[in-house]
Every structure is written in structure tokens, then in C-alpha cells.
Structure 1
Amino acid sequence: MRTPLLSLLLLAGAAQAAEPLTVDVYRDPNCGCCTAWIDHLQSHGFTVNDHIERDMSAVKQRLGVPPRLASCHTGVIGGQFVEGHVPASEILALRQRPELLGAAVPGMPIGSPGMEMGARHDAYQVIGLERGGAERVLADYPQR
């Protein structure tokens, strides 16, 4: 039987041995909120490969992001898209959902990661897209 301390040490060792999570982010060169979202990811331990794109519509189409789920930037991690201002915690949860093509925060809700503008926080949802095209709510973030 493991002691609590031994279990904690084993978990810590496994976390240190884990590869850093890498996200490829595609964004327009003139977008400030995209770089703020990249900062959010990096502050949560993600490694970001930043790709400047002139035709974001083509990137979204290539990655299977439906126009109704679109935002300004698009990330890719483990073959799944991450559209818009998805919180880092939801990206980690997405990795456990291989049945999904990706996750999105449509639009640019104020208060979402990268869209912080003071005390205002609009309500928003993280939407998952299934391989068959169905959408499901993965998380709700209430207005504050």
C-alpha cells in the first residue's frame, strides 16, 4: 500500500516527465487579442507555435471549423482545433475527448481569456464539434 507522500511524489515525477503541451496558433498579424490568448496559454504551461496567416478563412476551412463557431484565431493541438478564446482548462479537457474534432468559443466574448477588459465578463459557452457535425456544450461560463 502506498503512503500519501509516496503517491504525491510519484505524481510529481510523472508531471515533470510529461512533454509540454504544444499548440499551433494561426492568427492575423494585426490582432491584439490573439496575442493575449497566446499569453494565457503560455501562462498555463503550453508551448505555442505562432503562425501568422493572411487568409484565416482558408485556415478555418482546412481545419473543419464551421463558420457559426468562428472567432479570430484558431489553434490546433493533437489534431483537434481550438477556435477562439477557449480557456486553457478546456483545452486540457478536450484532449480527453477524441470523439471531438475540436472546441470553440464563438465570437469574442468580453472576459474570456485574451478578451479581458476590466470587470465586465460576458456569458459564453465552449462548444464541442463531433465528427458527425453535431455540436454540444462542453462548458458554460456565466456573466459576472
Structure 2
Amino acid sequence: MSTPIRTLAALALTTALAFHPALAEQLDRLVVHKSPTCGCCGKWIDHMEANGFAVTPIDVADLGRIKREHDIWPAYRSCHTAVGEQTGYIFEGHVPARIVARFLADPPADAKGLSVPAMPVGSPGMEVGDKFMPYEVLLLQKDGGSRVYARIDSPDDQY
């Protein structure tokens, strides 16, 4: 994202936060653990920042260690792991910012976070022209289980 666009996005967010203090409480700073060579992770970070999230990327050599530390089972894994700095909630993979914000506004009691397993084509950060593959956002539960939190059937469902 270019500097003028980032500046406009930051100005829009600042204005929104001034008039909607509850929004500021919902947006948790995300620490994103990622591979230094993964381009789609950087695109997902851009998506999150463009939608009002503060993001701190951390390049790590052993992402498996991060995923094990946060008890993210292999079936729920993707290319990067974001952890809410204030809340500790996990956002694994290419979860749309809109869905993260909705989750943070009213997290289920048994939740530890959200996951988009694998890397669905067309999800935020995984755009390939006009190609799109429907996918599910899973609610990761504290007991290790999961359930469908949201279904993304079209690109418009993400934004």
C-alpha cells in the first residue's frame, strides 16, 4: 500500500475512533508471526492495517514452534499466526479483518481465536486475479475443538 493511501487510511481510522470509542476497544494490536520469505503474509498484514488494525510483524525461523506454543492443531494451521497483544486471541491464517473485528466485539466464552486453515485462493492476502475459492472461518475452542464461525462464499463476504 502506498504512503498516501496509508496516510488516508490512518486519518479515516483516527476520525472513526474519535467518534466511536467502542471501536478503539475492539481493535487489538496483532503480533504476526510469519516466515521472512512469505509474500502473502505481508499482503494479509496490509489488509489488516487498511482496516484499522495495528500490526507488529515478527519474522521467525520455526513457525511450528509458535503454533505448538499456542496449541494450534495441524488441521487448523496456515502460513502465519497472529496473536492479540491485549487479548491473547489467536488469528491463524487469512482471516478477513471484518471477521476479526466482529469476533473481538463479542467473543464466544469458549473461544481461543479464529482460523482459516490452509491458504484459500481469493482470501485476503491470497488474491490471484479474479479467482476465488469459498472457505470457512473456524472458531478455535479452548478445549481444542472447532466449529464454523463464518462462511465466505464470495469475495464480497470478506469486506
Normalised-by-shorter TM-score class: 0.7 to 0.9
Largest Rg, 1 or 2:
1
Show the 5 A alignment for 1:29-44. 29-44=36-51
Aligned residues: 134
Match of 2:102 in 1: 93
- 1:51 maps onto 2:62 in alignment: no
Distance verdict in 2 for CA 1:17–1:27, change over 3 Å: closer
Question: 2:119 aligns to what SS in structure 1?
Answer: coil
Question: 2:69 aligns to what SS in structure 1?
Answer: helix
Verify the 8 A CA contact 1:25 1:76 in the aligned structure 2.
yes
Match of 2:125 in 1: 114
Instruction: State the distance in 2 between where 1:44 and 1:143 align.
Output: 19
Instruction: State the distance in 2 between where 1:44 and 1:15 align.
Output: 16
Verify the 8 A CA contact 1:84 1:107 in the aligned structure 2.
yes
Verify the 8 A CA contact 1:21 1:45 in the aligned structure 2.
no
Verify the 8 A CA contact 1:24 1:51 in the aligned structure 2.
yes
Residue in structure 2 matching 1:70, options 53, 66, 77: 77
Distance verdict in 2 for CA 1:143–1:29, change over 3 Å: same
Distance verdict in 2 for CA 1:93–1:16, change over 3 Å: closer
Match of 1:8 in 2: none
- 1:13 maps onto 2:15 in alignment: no
Match of 1:60 in 2: 67
How far off is 1:12 after superposition? 5.6
Instruction: State the distance in 2 between where 1:138 and 1:40 align.
Output: 20
The TM-score normalised by the length of structure 2 is: 0.78
Distance verdict in 2 for CA 1:123–1:67, change over 3 Å: same
- Percent identity reads 38
- 1:130 maps onto 2:141 in alignment: yes
The TM-score normalised by the length of structure 1 is: 0.86
Verify the 8 A CA contact 1:70 1:106 in the aligned structure 2.
yes
- 1:23 maps onto 2:34 in alignment: no
Q: Gaps (5+ residues) in structure 2?
A: 1-16
Bigger helix fraction: 2
Q: Gaps (5+ residues) in structure 1?
A: 1-10
Match of 1:4 in 2: none
